[in-house]
Amino acid sequence: MVTLEAILQAHARLKGVALRTPLLPCPEDCHGSKVWLKAESFQPIGSFKIRGAYNCLASLPAAERAAGVIAYSSGNHAQGVACAARLLGIPAVIVMPHNAPAVKMAATRAYGAQVVLYDPLTEKREDVAARLMQGQSWVLVPPYNHEEVIAGQGTIGVEIYQDLPEVELVLVPVGGGGLISGVATALQNLKPGVRVIGVEPELADDARQSLRSGRIVEYTAAQTGRTIADGTRTLSVGDLTLAHMQHYVDDIITVSEASIRRAVRDLLLKHKLLIEPSGALAYAAWHSQRDALPAAKHVALVLSGGNIEPALLADILQSG
């Protein structure tokens, strides 16, 4: 299990690399609660993923750095690893689904990483990476099921507590579980009793099913591919992230595709924040599932990223 000490070490390691993102007050009517938005879309790569990726790569011994790294991702972890690898002078290969958002694929290549595409309907990304690693000395950098990655993401929880020590409830998007594992670990150790709740799309709720059943529930790519929130299309959580969620996370709730679209639109038009569907999950839950949430006067919503395809954004705004 990741410790608070490891997260604090990651926080120090990330200074000058990851932005200490602002905790923005939500000016709209929040029904008696004070709500703040943790805008990770302001990160250099537009996503929180730089935190875990850089912390993991910076922790590697010199020999492993020289050998290079490989990762698999639908987009934001890909950019995080590619950016961190460039900063540290490490060769990087990234396995991405061919239907990953073009804006994320282009950014990953722009950071200098070699991108290898695969078909998520016929292949598993883990198998593709394993095949590419044969005969190589590359280090695998998983997107979420890794202690250094979780510790890096946990720095968000440290910042929330430092900026808002009175926080009572934190809502966090959930894909593979690395983000919420780190955030919940940090917050529960810094302020025991704070409520941390994950948010998933209804169409890709494998983490919720896993948390409630006590075992890893795996979905197919066809199932998770139905959601607009591409960052949550992981097929399952990991054994490490599930263990952290079982220990530190209060619950995971789901939101509809319509509420995700509405959240993306409202965040842009009301708050001037460009947030991708996966990044808007917490905001969507606050507005559509408030009755399912614990009462709290001080609430933080993690907006995990802003790398949205222009065509998708246009469709969301036009359909609204």
Q: What amino acid positions are annotated as catalytic residues?
A: 49, 304
CA angle 301, 57, 147 (to 5 degrees): 60
CA angle 35, 79, 207 (to 5 degrees): 55
Q: Within its chain, how far is the Cα of 236 from the centroid? A: 14
Sign of CA dihedral 237, 238, 241, 244: positive
- How far apart CA 226 and CA 33 sit, in angstroms, is 33
Residue of 12, 14, 153, 149 lying closest to 88 (CA atoms): 14
Helix, strand and coil in the chain, % to nearest 5: 50, 15, 35
Token reading at 250: 């209060």
- How far apart CA 30 and CA 46 sit, in angstroms, is 26
What residue has token string 């440290």? 158
Give the 3-state secondary structure of residue 32. coil
| E strands, 132-278, in order | 139-140, 169-173, 195-201, 251-255
Contact (CB, 8 A) for 154 and 183: yes
Residue type, 68: G
